[in-house]
Structure 1
Amino acid sequence: MRKIILSIIGVVLICLAFIFSKNLIANKNKPKPVKEKVVKTVFIETVKNGPIKIIIPANGSLVAKRRVELFAEVQGVFKPSGVLFKPGQTYSRGQALIRIDANEYYASVQSAKSNLYNDIAAVMPDLRLDFPDVYPKWQNYLNNYDLDKTTPKLPKMTSDKENYFITGRGIVSSYYNVKNLEQRLSKYNITAPFSGILTEALVTEGSLIRSGQKLGEFIDPSIYEMEVALSKDYASLLKVGETVSLSNLDKTEAYTGKVTRVNGSINADTQTITAFIEVKNSNLKEGIYLEANLNAEEVADAIEVDRSLLLEGQEIFIVKDSLLDIMPVKPVYFSETKVVLKDIPNGTVILKKPVPGAYAGMLVKPFKSKTK
């Protein structure tokens, strides 16, 4: 019985071995699968060189081009007037901003003017006798002398004798003393140098004003300037008179400005150069933050592409016979997202968007949009 069982097991093992060997022979002759070549689809564009405007982005806040800080040069009490000295108050050119009580000083000025009149009147008899030819003009001067008006200029002296005589009597020194007092008297009234608006008021009517005290600030709201700091690399590109496009941070308002001044020196600490942009618009206010795009210059025979397409060795990928290749280029200007390139022949096919893992010799095919 045992021999029969062993014989059956042996026959089964021989059969299994035969089947296994047959499968091995069949698999050995089966051809291996061929890997398909991966062809990436890429976005391309054909180079067409032309003029490219270099636009330099900048930003800054607006400051009134004409502004005056008001300071007192005399002391006295701020006299009330018909217009309140408050921020936001508008004034016309020549209108009084501040009137300081000058009654006491005015009296001293009138006294000095009276003394000058008396000094001239005292020498009139001598002039009639010794200088009859100049007497009429001095008499005419006295006739037109008015204590309530600004002291007129002394008559012109035509000879040395007349000059010595008048000067020796102290008339010339008295005249200039009066003019000095009148000049200081005018400082008790501060008038608007131009039509504008008061932006800061540090005193109120009735308060005592001291000499040297700051009273406020006055600006012309019709014209503003924006100071921008640009890299020194753009120093040779900036031109006075260039038009500048301006916008607010939300891009909801657009304005047009003009480069009026460019600083002649470069900041040693920041290595930047300062440019000033003038802008006029009734909607603008001092302190508004704006963004500017300055047209620096125009580069001929160039193209503008994304900075991500430029390789480290100043090269870009081109498509040639469905393969990627590398071409050296000459960058002439970098912005935050773009770069301006030269030395690329017209008709060259370049990538429009970067391809991950791209290398020279890579097989690609251009993307074709489906048209209905």
Structure 2
Amino acid sequence: MRNYILSGIGILFIGFSIFFAKKLIDEKNKPKPIKEKVVKTVLTDTVVNSTIQIVIPANGSLIAKRRVEIYSEVEGIFKPSNILFKPGQEYRKGQTLIRVDASEYYSSVQSAKSNLYNDIAAIMPDLRLDFTDVFPKWEKYLSSFDLNKTTPELPKMTSDKENYFITGRGIVSSYYNVKNLEQRLSKYNIHAPFSGILTEALVTEGSLVRGGQKLGEFIDPSVYEMEVALSKSYASMLKVGETVKLTNLDKTETYTGHVSRVNGSVDATTQTITAYIDVKDNTLKEGLYLEAQLDARDEENAIEIDRGLLSESNEIFIVRDSLLDVMTAKPVYFSETKVVLKEVPNGTVILKKAVPGAYAGMLVKPFKTTDKTDDK
């Protein structure tokens, strides 16, 4: 009985082996699947060389072209006026910005003027007797002398004898002393040098003003200036009077400016050159940050493509007989997103958009758009 069982197991094992071996042979003889060639569709462009305008981007903040830092040369109490000395306050040209109390100093000026008047009056009898020919003009000067007005200029002396006599009496020195005092008296009132707006106020009415103290800042809001630093390689391209397009950071506003000045020296540290751009607009404010586009030069027989299409070895992909190939180009200018190339022949088909994993010999198919028209 045991022998029958062992014989049956052996027969089953042999049969299973034969079945498994046959299955392996059948699978080995199956034809291998043929891989389909993958053809990538790419966006292409045909090269047409033209004149490319190279635009240099730059940025900076606006400052008023005409600005004055207000300092006091005298000392006294800041007197109140009808217009408050506050930031944002507008003033017309010649209008008083600050009045410092000068009552004490004014008295000393009047005293000096009175002394000058007395000195001239004291020599009038001598002039009548010894200088009859010049007496009328000094008499006229004395009669026009007004202590409440600016001291008039002394009569012109026509002879050395008259000059020695007048100078010897100390009248000339007294006159210039009075003029010096009057000049200082005028500094107790600070006037607006031009129509503008106060941007900073460091004192208030009633406070003590000291000599040399900064009182505020005053600007002309009609013209602003932007300082930009550019590479020294563009120094020869910048010209005074060039029109510049300006935009704000949000790209919502556009302004037009002009290059007003170009610095004649290159910064030794940064190797940049500074240019100044004037811009006028009622909506602009000092400190506003703008971006400028300066027209540097026109590059002839060139093309402009995305920077991502140019390799580190200055090569670009071209399409030739449905295969990708590489061509060496000459870059002449790089911007943040674009590059200007030369030495790419007209009619060359290049990639318009980068292809991931692209290589020379890769099979590609140019993408074509079809325009559908309705039959009439």
Structure 2 equivalent of residue 265 of structure 1: 265
Give the aligned CA root-mean-square deviation in angstroms. 2.9
**Counterparts of residues 38-187 of structure 1 (less than 5 Å):** 38-187=38-187
Q: CA deviation at 1:180?
A: 0.5
| Structure 1 range deviating more: 253-262 or 207-216 | 253-262
Q: 2:232 maps to which residue? A: 232
After TM superposition, the structure 1 stretch with the greater mean CA deviation from structure 2, 139-148 or 98-107, is 139-148
Deviates more, 1:32-41 or 1:235-244: 32-41
Amino acid at match of 1:250: D
* Worse-superposed segment, 253-262 or 267-276: 267-276
Local SS of the residue matching 1:212: coil
Is 1:286 matched up with 2:302?
no
Corresponding residue SS for 1:93? coil
Aligned-residue offset at 1:45: 0.7
SS in 1 for 2:264: strand
- Comparing 190-199 and 148-157, the one that deviates more: 148-157
Superposition pairs of residues 353-372 of structure 1, within 5 angstroms: 353-372=353-372
Counterpart CA distance in 2 for 1:61 and 1:18 is 87
Code of the aligned partner of 2:53: K
- Residue 350 in structure 1 maps to residue 350 in structure 2: yes
Q: 1:346 to 1:206 in 2, by over 3 A?
A: same
**Residues 11 and 309 of structure 1: is their aligned pair in 2 closer, same or farther, counting only changes over 3 Å?**
closer
CA change 1:46–1:123 in 2 (3 A) is same
Per the alignment, residue 333 of structure 1 pairs with 333
- 1:36 corresponds in structure 2 to 36
Relative to structure 1, the CA distance from residue 8 to residue 177 in structure 2 (aligned partners, 3 Å threshold; closer, same or farther) is closer
- What do the CA deviations read for 1:236-287 (whole angstroms, capped 9, x no partner)? 3322222222222222222222221222223333333222222211112222
Matches of 2:266 and 2:110, distance apart in 1: 55
CA distance in structure 2 between the partners assigned to 1:18 and 1:284 by the alignment: 92
Partners of 1:218 and 1:296 lie apart in 2 by 35
Decide whether aligned partners of structure 1 residues 125 and 358 sit closer, same or farther in structure 2, where only a CA change above 3 A counts: same
For the residue of structure 2 that corresponds to 1:122, the secondary structure is: helix
TM-superposed deviation, 1:13: 5.7
Alignment partners' CA distance in 2, 1:144 and 1:308 = 85
Quote how far apart the aligned CAs of 1:121 are. Answer: 2.5
Q: TM-score, normalised by structure 1?
A: 0.89
SS of the residue corresponding to residue 106 of structure 1 reads: helix
Whole-angstrom distance in 1 between the partners of 2:185 and 2:198: 24
Residues 132, 357 of structure 1: CA spacing in aligned structure 2 closer, same or farther, 3 A cutoff? same
Identify if the C-alpha distance between structure 1 residues 169 and 322 changes in structure 2 by more than 3 Å, giving closer, same or farther.
same
Q: Provide the C-alpha distance between the structure 2 equivalents of 1:340 and 1:137, rounded to a whole number of angstroms.
A: 81
CA spacing shift, 1:33–1:184, aligned 2, 3 Å = same
Deviations 1:19-54, CA, capped at 9 Å, x for gaps: 9679849965x7655443332221111111222222
Per the TM alignment, residue 10 of structure 1 is displaced from its structure 2 partner at its CA by 7.9
Distance 1:231 1:370 in 2: 46
SS of corresponding position for 2:51: strand
SS across alignment from 2:139: helix
- The CA deviation string for residues 317-366 of structure 1, in whole angstroms up to 9 with x for no partner, is 22222222222222111111111112222222111111222222322221
Instruction: Kindly provide the amino acid, as one letter, of the partner of residue 45 in structure 1.
Output: D
Give the match's secondary structure for 2:211.
Answer: coil
Counterparts of 1:178-217 in structure 2, within 5 Å, are: 178-217=178-217
Unaligned runs of 5+ in 2: none
Aligned twin of 1:316: 316
The aligned amino acid for 1:260 is: S
Q: Give the TM-score taking structure 2 as reference length.
A: 0.88
Identity of aligned residues (%): 73
* Change in CA separation of 1:122 and 1:35 when aligned onto 2, cut-off 3 Å: same
Q: Distance in 1 between matches of 2:105 and 2:19?
A: 135
Counterpart AA for 1:181: L
User: Following TM superposition, by how much is the alpha carbon of 1:193 offset from its aligned partner in structure 2, in angstroms?
Assistant: 0.7
SS at match of 2:262: strand
Aligned to 2:241: 241
